[in-house]
Amino acid sequence: MNVIIRADGNREIAMGHMMRCLSVAEALRDAGAQVRFVTAGDETRDLIASRGFSHSILYTSFRDMEDELPALRRIVDDWQAGRILVDSYFVTQRYMRELGAWAETAYVDDLGEPVWPVDMLINYNIYGAELPYAAWYRKAGIPLPKRMLLGCGYAPLRREFVGQAACAPRDFVRDVLITTGGGDAANAAEALCGGILQEARQGMHAGIRYHVVCGPFSQQKERLRALARAHPMFCIHENVTNMSELMRSCDIAVSAAGSTMYELCSMRIPAVCFYFAENQKKMAACFGRTTEIQNAGNITEARERVLDRLLDRLRELEQDGALRERIRKQMGALTDGRGAGRIAEALTGQRTGYEDKRGKL
């Protein structure tokens, strides 16, 4: 089976869409499918090539997807694609209907409404199964997708997270992970480190090292590097190739609401989260409502308040072992890291070979 994945990653929308699609692509390859990525621009050319996938670049605007339809149709025909997986917030009714006339379609959804005419709907978010899709599709006059893959069991994490878990928890916190997204447009990492440094000068956070992940589109790389050179309590990580190993070395985390939260759940790393984009709001709110993972809020709307909340909760997590243990158990119940394999099996009808310590899917 030939599968086309239509997704983008760039400085404006960061890398979340592309990274989760790469996870699904690898599981599809395990199931025997041939996968080709199609992107609007060339920003992810090297990343896709490094994973061994073929790639077509449209050289169009990722915001105007209807404009790409003629070029995409030629790729679909040449590739003889039987499935098209789309992961973009810029699709339209016309766009999805046209794709549905060429091949079976699947759509990765985060937002809920509006709904689109597709054969398969995927919403792996913590709130996915709570959303009233049946009512939304009925209101829109669109048939309900034939298959609905909803909830954290379908979180498309990378293979490195399958069946993994953190090291046995320590009675104290020594290492803290800070991850703020591929672009960090809100400059959250530098601001949070500044707050930690100020508190450290007052005697807090003694003996703790902070591991800051600097994403590929971060515009604060030089300042973060300078911070780490001046203050050894900070360590900057760029071009991370094995995130599970970095997570495993840490006791707690501060994270933007996104796919990283599900990776942290699979590793059982207690966390506090925040968000900076509307599509992250539901996730952060649901974590805050259903677990003790605190939602610190929208850093672009209430910057100082959110930073204060992050710092307050960070101190709590550093000091309260019982709180950390409760959150570990709550996170472990959410996902086992095998969602990409489940999605690939649903798309192809074939086994993926994904395994964990308990055996095959």
Tokens 């599709």 appear where? 137
The residue assigned the tokens 């005419």 is 117
Identify the band that residue 130 occupies on the pLDDT scale cut at 50, 70 and 90.
very high
The lowest-confidence range among 73-87, 109-123, 138-152, 155-169 is 155-169
Residue 320 and residue 343 share a domain: no
Whether residues 12 and 132 share a domain: the answer is yes
Task: Please give the single-letter amino acid code of residue 125.
Answer: N
pLDDT single digits (tens) 203-240: 999 999 999 999 777 778 899 999 999 999 999 999 89
CA 187 to chain centre: 18
Using one digit for the tens of pLDDT, what is the confidence trace for 268-303?
999 999 998 887 899 999 999 999 999 999 999 999
Is 152 part of a structural domain of the chain?
yes
Q: What is the pLDDT of residue 359?
A: 36
Within-domain flag for 359: no
Q: What are phi and psi of 48, to 5 degrees?
A: -65, -40
Q: Is residue 249 part of a domain?
A: yes
CATH of the domain at 184: 3.40.50.2000
For the purposes of burial, counting CB atoms within 10 Å of the CB of 141, is it exposed (0-12), middle (13-18) or buried (19 or more)? exposed
Per-residue pLDDT tens for 33-46? 999 999 999 999 99
pTM of the model: 0.84
Strand partners, 133: none
Residue 357 maps to a domain:
no
Q: Which domain holds residue 81?
A: 2-160+336-352
Count the Cβ atoms, other than its own, within 10 Å of residue 156.
27
Cα dihedral 144/146/152/154 (nearest 10) = -150
C-beta of residue 161 within 8 angstroms of C-beta of residue 197: no
Please count the structural domains in the chain.
Answer: 2
Neighbours of 23 (CB within 10 A): 25
Across the chain, the runs of DSSP E, i.e. the strands, are 2-7, 34-39, 54-57, 83-87, 104-108, 120-123, 147-150, 175-179, 209-214, 234-238, 252-256, 271-275, 295-298, 355-356, 359-360
- Per-residue pLDDT at 219: 77
| Residue 328 domain-assigned (yes or no) | yes
Asked if residue 195 and residue 112 are part of one domain, the reply reads no
The mean of the pLDDT values for the chain is 93
Q: Which amino acid is at 215?
A: G
